[in-house]
Structure 1
């Protein structure tokens, strides 16, 4: 089955599970336009961080420094937007994130520093630099070194005629039809230009990396840099380019936390681990643009539920997970994968017990719902991953394997 067809199939399954869960639990908020709209906004930084990780790791460089690059992007976005408007803020965020990617390239590509060590250093450096710059620039303006003054946000746009029609369908509360209408309405209402750009970058990344000579050479650096060098590919240039682009995407992810309506202005440590969640979305997507889009949507939706409905909706999502595990059990039994089917049954039993024994999840756990989803998804997806062959390996020009 082609990749796009698998994506469509999984989207249909996800909508079907959510619709069934909404009907059985009496929680229309699972598929409401408000939840969908919030989920889109929260998925953007994860999506952009995942795209940054894709470009770096397809070139063979592990980039766990995405979090630090996003932090630099949040400060750059607030600083640029305060003095020049949201577009200037977006440009500044890209530049600051790209500088973080360039520093990671110097360490890992030129000096062969361990990729994990360099990434951790970038994260710590990004947090420290943003904190210092905020105290230097923002404290005289806002009176608080941990936040910026008010900055202008991107305008939003809606497909009004279509939105009104979908709103009528959503209000009708018809099974499946109203659920689909609610999800679609949230995706076309109050959409910012940054959201449109981020979604457009997914097919653009695919076309560049898989359909151009530059992309083929860049991916060859992540598969076998020695063979690529023997064919005349400048491995250093392609790795540097990939990491600068990676940092720019991560900086855009930081900008989406600052410049979108409904979000806060710059706050210290505003990313809250979204760089790592973006890395998880990329791994879930098996280092492919379409797959990471699905991962970002999943994590953004889990994050959006706790904002739009609190513990009640998050608990209802567990019921949906039980239904999905039931489908997986049937599939595994058809394939005669007895152990996998048994593990799915055990997982479904545990989740159903949690759902049955609670009216809503404890409020202390609700902010970490996306993090729990990250752990579970990575555990499930780890069986089918195929990373680039030479990812994380040190490369020196002229040396063989």
Structure 2
């Protein structure tokens, strides 16, 4: 729908999406799928007794871990909607962690937030300068920024933090907390309901309880950026022009859009959002900068953006999924992951039935076989190795991208070289 609007407004019929309309999910269908997923999860909790998979603490941790992933993915969405692939999200997050902790330690946490955003935006500016002005391959530029950011912070950390109280060559001194909030009354009521262990009701209470218990103010800002980005990109003239640069920059230029300007703005905003994700890691998740604390979240954010089909809502769902699987490492990981093997087996069986309905019998047989193997793994063991628990977020990332690949449609000019006046 969004690309059709773009096509109408820039008068270019070639911008029509390639994916058939029948593949699009309506909001009621999407909500029904989410409800079905919650019901299956609740059933697994009741059968296995793994109450930790939906308790308030688990959901609160999942939200905290989803925020930096979501911010990185949102940064990627802004850049790629303007036609610039941003593999450098990881490096921009690293810059955000270091600059945020450095400024937060000296001048307070909110100053750290601002400076961390600027640090990430500087990385975005470099990426825009190299890719837009000099037309360097976007992947090469992004990888270079990741390497440069890591090297720069390793060089700067000893100079800034070594010799300070609580600081070292790889860690900053502690940064003051931004503070958090809990909705009084509602949080306790949801927690009590969650402890009842009722089918579905307690699981929904756990999910909602995690959203209103010990939530950082920066989390609130990050969540608000999702609908805010959607409104700007899909409901304003600025967003329409920016997206036209990612669909057909030649057509946009013919209608008077300054394509270079919009690409620069999009990538700088992208870097700032990734930097904010880094700030979250070094001020909220941990009250200090620590070398290596980004740990690939920039890449997972990029995967969440692709899973969400370059849309803010889908991106939020992807970030939530990856944040939840990551939280399994911190809270009863082995027991919870073992319980989720049963959930995976059930989902595979349902997928096999769906493939049979669509008369894809070979794919259905393979899916059913994998489901049987997963169920056998669950039934013949009591726990999973810690290595499997640690790898779960990355395995889920690969599985989700593989399953959603047929529904994806990136902006048509994403990653393609562009020169001003090339359509003349």
1:48 counterpart SS class: helix
2:92 equivalent to 1:64: no
Render the CA deviation track for 1:116-164: whole Å, top value 9, x for unaligned.
0000000001101111111110112145200111111221101121111
Q: Between Structure 1 and Structure 2, how many residues are aligned?
A: 400
| Structure 1 residue 341 displacement after superposition | 2.1
2:185 equivalent to 1:185: no
Which of 221, 227, 231 is the equivalent residue of 2:245?
Answer: 221
Q: What CA distance in whole angstroms lies between the structure 2 residues aligned with 1:361 and 1:224?
A: 49
| Structure 1 residue 80 displacement after superposition | 1.6
Which of 233, 253, 259 is the equivalent residue of 2:283?
Answer: 259
| Structure 1 residue 339 displacement after superposition | 3.1
| Structure 1 residue 355 displacement after superposition | 2.0
2:111 corresponds in structure 1 to 88
Q: What CA distance in whole angstroms lies between the structure 2 residues aligned with 1:5 and 1:194?
A: 30
2:274 equivalent to 1:250: yes
- The alpha-carbon distance between structure 1 residues 265 and 354, as it changes in their structure 2 partners (threshold 3 A), is farther
| Structure 1 residue 265 displacement after superposition | 1.8
1:76 corresponds in structure 2 to 99
2:233 equivalent to 1:209: yes
| Structure 1: tracts of 5 or more residues without a match | none
2:380 equivalent to 1:357: yes
Alignment of 1:1-400 (within 5 A): 3-141=26-164, 142-260=166-284, 263=286, 265-400=288-423
Root-mean-square deviation (Å): 1.5
Q: What CA distance in whole angstroms lies between the structure 1 residues aligned with 2:33 and 2:268?
A: 33
Contact 2:233 2:240 in 1 (8 A): yes
- The alpha-carbon distance between structure 1 residues 367 and 263, as it changes in their structure 2 partners (threshold 3 A), is farther
| Structure 1 residue 11 displacement after superposition | 2.3
TM-score, with length taken from structure 2: 0.91
| Structure 1 residue 168 displacement after superposition | 1.8
| Structure 1 residue 317 displacement after superposition | 1.4
Q: What CA distance in whole angstroms lies between the structure 2 residues aligned with 1:143 and 1:149?
A: 4
2:291 counterpart SS class: coil
Contact 2:176 2:287 in 1 (8 A): no
Q: What CA distance in whole angstroms lies between the structure 1 residues aligned with 2:357 and 2:309?
A: 25
| Structure 1 residue 3 displacement after superposition | 4.6
| Structure 1 residue 319 displacement after superposition | 1.3
Contact 1:306 1:313 in 2 (8 A): no
| Structure 2: tracts of 5 or more residues without a match | 1-23
Contact 1:285 1:294 in 2 (8 A): yes
Q: What CA distance in whole angstroms lies between the structure 2 residues aligned with 1:21 and 1:107?
A: 50
| Structure 1 residue 349 displacement after superposition | 2.1
Render the CA deviation track for 1:80-111: whole Å, top value 9, x for unaligned.
21112221111011000000000000000000
Deviating more after overlay: 83-92 vs 238-247: 83-92
| Structure 1 residue 203 displacement after superposition | 0.6
Q: What CA distance in whole angstroms lies between the structure 2 residues aligned with 1:360 and 1:335?
A: 36
Contact 2:175 2:287 in 1 (8 A): no
- The alpha-carbon distance between structure 1 residues 393 and 269, as it changes in their structure 2 partners (threshold 3 A), is same
| Structure 1 residue 2 displacement after superposition | 6.2
Deviating more after overlay: 142-151 vs 328-337: 328-337
